[in-house]
Amino acid sequence: MGEESEKVMEMKEKSLNLNNKTHFVLIHGISGGAWCWYKIRSLMENSGYKVSCLDLKSCGIDQTDPNTLLSFDDYNKPLIHFLSSLQEDQQVILVGHSAGGLSVSDAIHKFGKKIKAAVFIGATMLKSGFLTEEDIKDGVPDLSDFGEVNEVYDFGFGLGQDHPPTTMIVKKELQRKIIYHMSPQEDSTLAEMLLRPGPIQALTTARFTGAEDADKVPRIYIKTTKDYVVKIEQQEAMIKKWPPSQVYVLESDHSPFFSAPFLLFGLLVKAAVSYGCCDN
């Protein structure tokens, strides 16, 4: 075999190995962005895994005004577009944090065959979205321990003051206390600089139908036991209502990608290995 042919074979081999890599797709929660995952992405890539961190609409570096987003379908378009662009034989491990669980659930309903496993990290996990009062009780953060609603959140009224708010964000002075109380100071400082008002009007419209493949996708729930945002009681209620394949436990605040990155990374790899995604 000539030198040129050997190089071609080597390139094909490298391409095949790349395509066989376990591919994690990481989805942030409300107000966050792809930047939330910087520690996990580094750990994964240094271990040979393929990682995609997406910004949903109006989040991270996406320039959409969150006050103009009124439907969940619009908000979740970046993830749906990403999954639709995958080849039919490609599968990913989809990971959602907090409200990112809604995005994962939406994807499970629409692209179940492209999802090898779905992981929910202290996340909203509702099979059909917000259909009932019980769904809202289980899936919407209750921060009343920290004060009245207007004392905890800053709201935006893109449709006018006489309409429900279109955006919301935890007040800066409370963000570390509520969201990052076990996280390094530098990470909560970074978050304070990068968090953006979340399109709450859009998220409340999350509804999922056509669930033929939804229960065929293995789901793993990672409980965050020191979570002040999605409280452990809420997590357990959602787990009971839509039982996942496995439940892992992590002693962390609402943001384990900051407060417990090595442990979280280990659990994500464990989930991948459990479902045959062990090539890296």
- CA–CA separation, 280 and 50 (whole Å): 8
Residue type for position 84: S
Catalytic site positions: 98, 227, 254
- CA–CA separation, 250 and 222 (whole Å): 7
User: How far from chain centre, in Å, is Cα 7?
Assistant: 40
Residue type for position 152: V
How many CB atoms neighbour CB 111 within 10 A?
A: 20
How many CB atoms neighbour CB 258 within 10 A?
A: 25
Contacts of 255 (CB under 8 A, 6+ apart): 36, 97, 179, 180, 183, 187, 191
The length of the chain in residues reads 280
